[in-house]
Structure 1
Amino acid sequence: MKIIVPMAGIGSRLRPHTLTIPKPLTLIAGKPIVQRLVEDIVKVVDQKVEEIAFVIGPAFPKNTEEKLMEIARDLGAVGKIFVQENPLGIAHAIHCAEESLEGPCVVAFADTLFKADFSLDEASDGVIWVKQVEDPSAYGVVKLKDGIITDFVEKPTEYISDLAIIGIYYFKNGGKLRQEIQYLLDNNITDRGEFQLTSALENMKRNGSRFVPGEVNEWMDCGNKDITVDTNGKILRFSKEAEENLISPTVVLENSEIIEPCYIGENVVLKNSKIGPNVSLGDKSVVENSHIADSMIQTNTSILNANLKDAMIGNNVYFDGKFTSVSLGDYSVLK
């Protein structure tokens, strides 16, 4: 089994945080988004994952590859890095990892987290995971008949279905997907100016491939600041239910209170403060005279005299003030 993770997008909706760190490496409850994604996939596919291929952008920081290779190694897999030089669409991004498109494989987009309990349908050629949504016009959707997918439609302008594709796909034979994407590229078949995965899936279906839907219990996006903060809270609550300990024993607690669920990293100092619920606070951060709830704060950051809720603050930030719902990128200073 192989996992292919297209993650070359610039993450513009999550700026300023993605100006210095690729969105998939943003920490959610102490772990990069992409690490949580591949760990969850490894848990549910119930097969040995031998290789994880990451498709990154050309302007990603130099240490990105090292971090991604470490994530693969920790899961007992070989890591491979491919670069999508030009943003020509999802199908094109997957094709950048064409040498990994063979045999059983999972394709998963790196801004999607999920909770599910399922097994792969070995009788089908593929599984497309979906979730019912209120506004399907913003997503690729599937249409079903007798439990089989009959149509793939990218961002429909009129109602087709409310089953949105969440961005996780299983293919029994990745080589077939490679061939169909190559056909799109060779014949310059685009939709809205990009090579779309739904176009390749539709061609595979016409050529006899049988796809079934897979349903997830929870679909969590990491698109913009508010959604990402909400996802952080959900992950913390899931971890609490699983009785995971996310508070480091190295935390220095001085006249302070932690209201779980929270993630508190290593060597964090809390003075005269109340932290939680639903707060992630990264390594070597300091919080004084503050109350923080429902927020994400990355590493090496100082928070003083603050009352924060629904906040997202980056790495190496100094914040001293009375602001509440903020979004501060790395190396910001407010005092």
Structure 2
Amino acid sequence: MKIIVPMAGRGSRLRPHSLTVPKPLIPVAGQPIVHRLVTDIAKVLKQPIEEIAFVLGDPAWFGDDVVNSLKALAASLGAKASIYRQDLPLGTGHAIMCAKPSLSGPAVIAYADTLIRAQFDLDQKADAVIWTKEVDNPEAYGVVKLNENHEIIELVEKPKHFVSNQAVIGIYYFKEVGVLKEKLQEILDENIKNGGEYQINDGIKRMMADGNIFKTGTVDEWMDCGNKAITIETNKRMLGFLKADGEAQLVSPSVTLENSNIIEPCFIGEHVVLKNSTVGPFVSIGDHSSIENTTVKNSLIQTHSTIKNGNLDQAMIGNHVKFNGNFTSISIGDYSVLE
């Protein structure tokens, strides 16, 4: 089994936090988004992962540190890492084709801007599986249309009339991903674009037209990391799941507590100092940060940051930040000072 991860986008909706760190590498509940996504997919697949192919953007943005972290991620799952580049933002189909040498055999394709919780078995009779989530407002999503055999026969974008409540979340399984590669190559050769880009859906529709059987794999939870507010909510939900799972070491034993309280669930990294503060619930704090005379809940604070005299709620603070003040729902990017 292979996992293909297109992640070349800059994550503009999550600025300022994605100005210095690619969005898939921003930690949520103590782990980068892409690391958590790939690890959770591997758990669902319940089979050895042979290769993980990452499609990155400009090397000036996705540099050696990113590449090394992704190679380490693949190695932790017993897989080979392959690194590809998408030089121009030409769409989801184009991004997949940038990993053309890896597009053979069974594979999962997953876009690295979402997190999931799922437990199901892949339908072995299907040629492909599109992972979906039941939603209350399907008109806001791309959804699948099913026939009487519960096979996907159409993809419908933001339907005006009810089609189904199964929203496409951006994760796909192909029994033979080479078939998708063949269809996407046709799309590229014929210069077929939607919204000015080459889309995976056009390749999938051609597979359906050829009689390939598509089924759904419904996830229990689907969490986005699109902007600050949604990312904070995802951090909160993920901490709750990790606590329920009995995840060990959510709070590092190296944390220094001075007249401070931690209200779980929280993730607190290595060598964090808490002085005269109350932290939690639903707070993530990265390594080597310091919190003093502050109350913080429902917030994300990254590494090497110093927070003083705050009352934070629904806040997202980057790396190497200095904050001293009485603002509450703030969003501060890396290397910023607000005093």
| TM-score, length of structure 2 as denominator length | 0.96
Match of 2:39 in 1: 39
**Maintained 8 Å contact 2:286/2:303:** yes
Q: CA deviation at 1:140?
A: 2.5
Q: Residue 230 of structure 1: CA displacement?
A: 0.5
Separation (CA, whole Å) in 2 of partners of 1:161 and 1:197:
20
Are residue 271 (structure 1) and residue 275 (structure 2) matched? yes
CA contact (8 A) 1:153 1:198 kept: no
Other-structure match for 1:120: 122
Give 1:201's aligned amino acid: I
Distance 1:158 1:83 in 2: 39
2:285 counterpart of 1:281:
yes
Q: Answer yes or no: is 1:167 the counterpart of 2:167.
A: no
CA distance in 2, matches of 1:167, 1:218: 13
List per-residue Cα deviations over 1:181-203 (Å, max 9, x = no partner). 10100001111111111111111
AA matched with 2:25: L
Which of 307, 312, 321 in structure 2 is aligned with 1:317? Answer: 321
TM-fit CA distance, 1:160? 3.7
Aligned to 1:130: 132
The residue that corresponds to 2:228 in the other structure is 225
SS at match of 1:232: helix
> Does 2:182 match 1:197?
no
> Does 1:96 pair with 2:98?
yes
Q: Return 5+ residue gaps in structure 1 as ranges.
A: none
**Cα deviation digits, residues 29-69 of structure 1 (max 9, x gap):** 11100000010011110111010001111142422111111
- Report Cα offsets for 1:90-146 as digits up to 9, x if no partner: 011011001111100000010111111101111110110111234435432210112
How far, CA to CA, are the matches of 1:334 and 1:254 in structure 2? 24
Q: CA deviation at 1:206?
A: 0.5
Deviation at 1:244, TM superposition (A): 1.3
- Please name the residue that 1:153 is paired with: 156
SS at match of 2:236: helix
**Contact map agreement 1:247 1:262 (CA 8 A) in 2:** yes
Identify if the C-alpha distance between structure 1 residues 95 and 158 changes in structure 2 by more than 3 Å, giving closer, same or farther. Answer: farther
Aligned position for 2:262: 258
SS across alignment from 1:17: coil
- Separation of aligned partners in 2, 1:156 and 1:83: 34
Letter of the 1:145 partner, please give it: N
Q: Report the Cα offset of residue 75 of structure 1.
A: 1.1
1:66 corresponds to which residue? 68
Q: Which residue of 2 aligns with 1:110?
A: 112
SS in 1 for 2:40: helix
**Structure 2 CA distance, aligned partners of 1:142 and 1:312?**
35
Q: Runs of 5+ in structure 2 lacking a partner?
A: none
How big is the alpha-carbon RMSD for the aligned residues of Structure 1 and Structure 2?
Answer: 1.2
- Structure 1 runs, 4 residues or longer, greater than 4 Å off: 155-159
Cα distance in structure 2, aligned partners of 1:137 and 1:23: 27
Deviates more, 1:154-163 or 1:104-113: 154-163
Match of 2:146 in 1: 144
Greater shift after overlay, 184-193 or 52-61?
52-61
Q: Which residue of 2 aligns with 1:81?
A: 83
